[in-house]
Amino acid sequence: MASIPTQPTLVDSHCHLDFPDFADTLPQVIDRAVAAGVARMVTICTKLRTEPQVRAIAEAHAPVFYAAGTHPMSVASEPMATVEALVALAAHPKFVGIGETGLDYHYTAESAAVQQESLRLHIEAARQTGLPLIIHARDADEDMARILTEEHRAAPYACVMHCFSSTRALAEAALDLGFYLSMSGIAAFKKSTELRAIFADAPVDRVLVETDAPYLAPPPYRGKRNEPAYVAHTAAAGAEVYGLSPEAFAAQTSANFDRLFAKAAAWTPEAAA
């Protein structure tokens, strides 16, 4: 009897399910993700005042976990996060990461100093909790590499460079620290040849996949609202980069996720009950 083909099991390591884009269709969006083989999703809180809403999504849907922090583009307009507040959030069984945090000088370079202060606070929270830091980096590669390296030398912590689309130099700096690079739909864009080359030179055991939904939908959905189900298309592009079958790349990136997000890997519905 011929074997029945199995669908690759994937993880969307970064999405924003609390955004208004999903307000009216969230159960269907999660169902479509599961049907597409996405067994787990991490929804990211970008402003700590919205943490209760993000937490509620994770509590209501078994495949969904969450992380929280203050996005660098919001730091100047939001109360400064504290290490104590972030550590307290980590007591929740489905809270699995610190962030997203980082540096964004593309639109908000004027708040560089306060962004750097916030980043260092998030790093300390990652150290104290043992949870991975989730980094957003845009047009700030030199400061990003410097701060991540300084802080890691002071005391180690785990980290993923979310939606990595920066320079080879930042990729190498992050990998040298033992960090992970996350591949988004950008890597599947036709013109992203250089980015795919950077990923090709990264160890495949240090790569995650994500959607950053509702943003950055991969082909054939580019320009439309992204959703976790579409991570399968980014993973297909990643499999080509590494010369792997979709099944092998899915298994590898899921194992990588479990290694970095160990709290999510250990979670069971029974333990949470």
Is 259's pLDDT higher than 60?
A: yes
Mean pLDDT score of the chain, rounded to an integer? Answer: 95
Q: Are 260 and 180 in contact (CB under 8 A)?
A: yes
Q: Is residue 1 part of a domain?
A: no
Q: Are 226 and 186 in contact (CB under 8 A)?
A: no
Q: What is the pLDDT of residues 23-69, one digit of tens each?
A: 999 999 999 999 999 999 999 999 999 999 999 999 999 999 999 99
Q: What is the pLDDT of residues 32-45, one digit of tens each?
A: 999 999 999 999 99
Question: Percentage of the chain with pLDDT > 90?
Answer: 95
Q: Give 1's pLDDT tier (boundaries 50, 70, 90).
A: very low
Q: Is residue 171 part of a domain?
A: yes
* Residue range(s) defining the domain that contains residue 235: 10-272
14: domain CATH number?
Answer: 3.20.20.140
φ, ψ for residue 126 (rounded to 5)? Answer: -65, -40
Q: Give 6's pLDDT tier (boundaries 50, 70, 90).
A: low
Q: Is residue 103 part of a domain?
A: yes
Tokens, residue 270: 């029974």
**How many structural domains compose the chain?**
1
Q: Is residue 66 part of a domain?
A: yes
Q: Is residue 90 part of a domain?
A: yes
Is 170's pLDDT higher than 60?
A: yes
Q: Is residue 69 part of a domain?
A: yes
